[in-house]
Amino acid sequence: MVSLTFINPLDQPTGRRRLLAELIDGIQDKQFSRFRLIVAYAKSGPLLRMQSVIEARCAKGLKIEAILGIDQQGTSAQALTFALQHFENVYVTREPNLTFHPKMYAFDGSGSARLFIGSNNLTVGGTETNFETTVRVDIALPKDAATFQLFTDGWKELLPASCLATKPLNASLLSDYVRDGRGHECY
């Protein structure tokens, strides 16, 4: 069964409910074996706040993958470095004259999936303090696999095999990104 809940705009600034806590819960939840995220901007703050749970769960088999936008210097070199060190696969996306702007977080395992779709970038503001809105979608698998497949299809469309704007991140590409400082020469 699919169920929806919301993080409302006043929840994060007032501390009632924050995406960061939801992400930590998802990472720690043993029913999930994979965590995929697609964000326009990523900074090291939330990643460092989640580091110990990421390391603990990855040591026990959690697979983390990310597609990160590198437009407008919104993603930091520190976040890219963290992702390379801790995630199984990391991709960067940038298309000149367009803005990569999605914000989706997905956990899945054999019996369930959980999506967060909203306005939250992977930044301190986006995950803790900004006025943001997010829909949490809990999905029973395999019963409602068709619903989760909508996310999976979108994920696959953004991978390098289908999207020329997306490149796999590696140390050399990261070095180019740091040297360039603008992000657009990193591939």
105 in a structural domain = yes
Q: Please count the structural domains in the chain.
A: 1
67 in a structural domain = yes
| pLDDT the model gives residue 124 | 97
Looking at per-residue pLDDT, the higher value among 98 and 87 belongs to 87
Residues 101 and 91 sit within 8 Å (Cβ to Cβ)? no
CATH number, domain containing residue 116: 3.30.870.10
Q: Reading across the β-sheet that carries 34-39, which strands appear in turn?
A: 3-7, 134-140, 112-118, 103-108, 34-39, 63-69, 89-93, 166-168
| Average predicted confidence (pLDDT) for the chain | 94
185 in a structural domain = no
* pLDDT reading at 122 higher than 60: yes
Contacts of 91 (CB under 8 A, 6+ apart): 65, 66, 67, 68, 158, 159, 160, 166, 167, 168, 169
Give the tens place of pLDDT for each residue, 16-41. 999 999 999 999 999 999 999 999 99
* pLDDT reading at 156 higher than 80: yes
| pLDDT the model gives residue 185 | 38
Phi-psi label, residue 65: left if phi above 0, alpha if psi -120 to 50, beta otherwise: beta
Residue with tokens 């990855």: 58
Per cent of the chain over pLDDT 90 is 86
How many whole angstroms separate alpha carbon 162 and alpha carbon 90?
Answer: 16
* pLDDT reading at 95 higher than 80: yes
16 in a structural domain = yes
Looking at per-residue pLDDT, the higher value among 103 and 1 belongs to 103
187 in a structural domain = no
Range of the domain at 71: 3-180
